Amino acid sequence: MSLTAAIQSVSALVSSAKSSSFLGQGVGPETRFTSFSMPLLPSRKLSVCKCVSAAPPTEQTAHKTKVARNANMAKLQAGYLFPEIARRRSAHISKYPDAKVISLGIGDTTEPIPEVITSAMALRAKELSTFEGYSGYGAEQGEKKLRAAIASTYYKDVGIEENDIFVSDGAKCDISRLQLLFGANVKIAVQDPSYPAYVDSSVIMGQTGLYQKDVEKFGNIEYMRCTPDNGFFPDLSNVSETDVIYFCSPNNPTGSAASRDQLTKLVNFARANGSIIVYDSAYSMYISDDSPRSIFEIPGAKEVAIETSSFSKFAGFTGVRLGWTVVPKELVFSDGFPVARDFNRIVCTCFNGASNIAQAGGLACLSEEGLKAMNNVVNFYKENTQIIVNTFSSMGFNVYGGQNAPYVWVHFPGRSSWDVFAEILEKTHLVTTPGSGFGPGGEGFVRVSAFGHRENVLEACRRLKQLYQ
Ligand SMILES: Cc1ncc(COP(=O)(O)O)c(C=O)c1O
pLDDT in tens, 236-246: 999 998 999 99
| Maximum mean pLDDT: which of 28-32, 47-51, 380-384 | 380-384
pLDDT of residue 150: 98
Mark whether 304 and 440 lie in a shared domain: no
From the CA of 282, how far away is ligand 1's center (Å)? 6
pLDDT of residue 84: 85
Least-confidence region, from 28-37, 54-63, 379-388, 440-449: 28-37
Tell me, using a 6 A CB cutoff, whether residue 247 lines ligand 1: no
Residue-averaged pLDDT of the chain: 89
Mark whether 223 and 292 lie in a shared domain: yes
- On the question of pLDDT at 284 being above 90, the answer is yes
- On the question of pLDDT at 8 being above 50, the answer is no
Tell me, using a 6 A CB cutoff, whether residue 257 lines ligand 1: no
Task: Compute CA distances 36 → 188, 249, 361, whole Å.
Answer: 32, 26, 28
Tell me, using a 6 A CB cutoff, whether residue 30 lines ligand 1: yes
Mark whether 231 and 363 lie in a shared domain: yes
Tell me, using a 6 A CB cutoff, whether residue 323 lines ligand 1: yes
From the CA of 340, how far away is ligand 1's center (Å)? 22
Mark whether 319 and 332 lie in a shared domain: yes
pLDDT over 90, % of the chain: 84
Tell me, using a 6 A CB cutoff, whether residue 207 lines ligand 1: no
Burial class (CB in 10 A: 0-12, 13-18, 19+), 94: exposed
Least-confidence region, from 24-28, 50-54, 81-85, 190-194: 24-28
Last residue of a domain, one of 337, 369, 401: 369
Number of CB atoms found within 10 A of residue 7's CB: 11
Query: 247 and 275 in contact (C-beta within 8 Å)?
Result: no
Query: What mean pLDDT is predicted for residues 175-203?
Result: 97
Tell me, using a 6 A CB cutoff, whether residue 248 lines ligand 1: yes
Tell me, using a 6 A CB cutoff, whether residue 171 lines ligand 1: yes
SS3 59: helix
Tell me, using a 6 A CB cutoff, whether residue 432 lines ligand 1: no
The CATH number of residue 233's host domain is: 3.40.640.10
How many domains in the chain? 2
Confidence of residue 69 (pLDDT cuts 50, 70, 90): very high
Higher-confidence residue: 54 or 65? 65
Q: What is the pTM of this model?
A: 0.89
Mutate which of 195, 295, 306, 449 for ligand 1 pocket (most atoms within 8 A of beta carbon): 195
Q: Which atom of ligand 1 is nearest to the CA of 317?
A: 9
pLDDT of residue 58: 55
- On the question of pLDDT at 44 being above 70, the answer is no
Mark whether 462 and 376 lie in a shared domain: yes
d(CA 14, CA 284): 37
Mutate which of 106, 286, 313 for ligand 1 pocket (most atoms within 8 A of beta carbon): 313
Phi, psi (rounded to 5 degrees) for 280: -100, 110
Tell me, using a 6 A CB cutoff, whether residue 403 lines ligand 1: no
Higher-confidence residue: 48 or 380? 380
Q: Which atom of ligand 1 is nearest to the CA of 175?
A: 4
Tell me, using a 6 A CB cutoff, whether residue 325 lines ligand 1: no
End-to-end CA separation in angstroms for the chain: 63
d(CA 283, CA 261): 19
SS3 401: strand
- On the question of pLDDT at 16 being above 70, the answer is no
d(CA 142, CA 172): 17
Tell me, using a 6 A CB cutoff, whether residue 312 lines ligand 1: yes
Mutate which of 50, 199, 252, 321 for ligand 1 pocket (most atoms within 8 A of beta carbon): 252
pLDDT of residue 10: 36
Residue nearest atom 16 of ligand 1, based on CA coordinates = 252
DSSP conformation class of 157: T
The CATH number of residue 394's host domain is: 3.90.1150.10
- On the question of pLDDT at 42 being above 80, the answer is no
The region that residue 401 occupies, defined by phi over 0 for left and psi between -120 and 50 for alpha, beta otherwise, is left
SS3 277: strand
Query: What mean pLDDT is predicted for residues 226-254?
Result: 96
Mark whether 341 and 414 lie in a shared domain: no
pLDDT of residue 55: 52
- On the question of pLDDT at 41 being above 50, the answer is no
Q: Which atom of ligand 1 is nearest to the CA of 312?
A: 9
- On the question of pLDDT at 203 being above 50, the answer is yes
Domain that includes residue 441, residue range? 372-468
Position 28 in a domain: no
Mark whether 243 and 339 lie in a shared domain: yes
- On the question of pLDDT at 7 being above 90, the answer is no
Residue nearest atom 3 of ligand 1, based on CA coordinates = 282
Kindly report the CA angle at 344 between 339 and 362, in degrees rounded to 5? 115
- On the question of pLDDT at 14 being above 50, the answer is no
Confidence of residue 61 (pLDDT cuts 50, 70, 90): confident
Q: Which atom of ligand 1 is nearest to the CA of 30?
A: 14
pLDDT of residue 59: 61
DSSP H helical segments within 103-183, as ranges? 115-127, 144-154, 171-182
Position 300 in a domain: yes
From the CA of 360, how far away is ligand 1's center (Å)? 21
Q: Which atom of ligand 1 is nearest to the CA of 310?
A: 10
Position 294 in a domain: yes
Residue nearest atom 10 of ligand 1, based on CA coordinates = 170
Last residue of a domain, one of 369, 388, 417: 369
Mark whether 347 and 391 lie in a shared domain: no
Q: Measuring CA to CA, which residue among 77, 119, 107, 82 is closest to residue 452?
A: 107
Tell me, using a 6 A CB cutoff, whether residue 307 lines ligand 1: no
pLDDT of residue 81: 80
